[in-house]
Amino acid sequence: MTHFYIANRKFIPVFATAVLFIIAYTVGASFYKGMSDPQVFLNLFRTSPFLLIAAIGGTFVILTGGIDLSVSGVVALTTVAASALIREGMNPLLVFALMLLMGMTMGTILGTFITYMKVQPFIATLAGLWFTRGLCFFISDDAIAVDNRVYKLLSQTKILIPGLSDPQTKEGAYISILVIVAFVILGLAIYIAHFTRFGRTIYAIGGNEQSARLMGLPVNRTKVLVYTLAGFCSALAGLTLNVYVGSGHGLYATGFELTVIAAVVMGGTMLVGGSGYVFGTLFGVLVLGVTQTLIQFNGTLSSWWTNIVVGALTLIFIGIQSFLASQKIRAGSVLKQKESIRDVVRRNRRPLMYAGATVVGIIIFSAGVQAFMPNIPTKCELKPFRQDEATALVEDGALIVYEHNGGGSCVGELYAIYPDGKIIATEGADTLTKQVTPADVNNLLAGINDLGWFTDTLYSTEHEPCGQCYTFFLTVADQGQVKTVKAVNGGTTTPPDYWKVIALIDEIIPRFESK
Q: Provide the sign of the torsion angle of the four alpha carbons 430, 436, 442, 443, taken in this order.
A: negative
Query: Which DSSP state fits 471?
Result: E
In CATH, what number is assigned to the domain containing residue 429?
3.30.1560.10
CA angle 472-474-475, nearest 5°? 160
344 and 431 share one domain: no
410 and 309 share one domain: no
Note the pLDDT tens digit of each residue in 1-54.
Answer: 555 555 566 777 788 889 999 999 999 999 888 888 888 899 899 989 999 999
Q: Under a CB-based contact definition with an 8 Å cutoff, are residues 348 and 333 in contact? A: no
C-alpha distances (whole Å) from 204 to each of 209, 214, 222, 324, 325 are 7, 11, 11, 19, 17
Q: Under a CB-based contact definition with an 8 Å cutoff, are residues 250 and 140 in contact? A: yes
Note the pLDDT tens digit of each residue in 111-131.
Answer: 999 999 999 999 999 999 999
Which among 156, 155, 175, 173 is positioned nearest to 164, based on CA atoms? 173
Domain of residue 173 covers 2-331+340-375
**Which residues have a Cβ under 8 Å from the Cβ of 492 and sit 6 or more positions away?**
253, 254, 255, 256, 259
306 and 412 share one domain: no
Residue 512 belongs to some domain of the structure: no
What does pLDDT average to over the chain?
83
- Structural domains of the chain, count: 2
418 and 272 share one domain: no
403 and 362 share one domain: no
Residue 128 belongs to some domain of the structure: yes
Residue 11 and residue 20: Cα distance in Å, rounded? 14
Q: Mutual orientation of helices 278-298 and 177-195 as an angle, nearest 10°?
A: 150
Residue 19 belongs to some domain of the structure: yes
Residue 515 belongs to some domain of the structure: no
**Which residues have a Cβ under 8 Å from the Cβ of 156 and sit 6 or more positions away?**
none
In CATH, what number is assigned to the domain containing residue 347?
1.10.3470
364 and 439 share one domain: no
Quick one: pLDDT at residue 418?
A: 93
232 and 315 share one domain: yes
349 and 419 share one domain: no
Residue 342 and residue 504: Cα distance in Å, rounded? 64
355 and 394 share one domain: no
Residue 253 belongs to some domain of the structure: yes
The CB-side HSE value for 20 (13 A sphere, CA atoms) comes to 26
Note the pLDDT tens digit of each residue in 326-370.
Answer: 666 565 554 445 444 455 445 555 555 555 555 555 554 454 444
212 and 78 share one domain: yes
Residue 367 belongs to some domain of the structure: yes
Quick one: pLDDT at residue 120?
A: 94
Say what the pTM is.
0.71
97 and 246 share one domain: yes
Residue 269 and residue 317: Cα distance in Å, rounded? 10
321 and 393 share one domain: no
Where a domain ends, among 354, 375, 396? 375
Quick one: pLDDT at residue 327?
A: 63
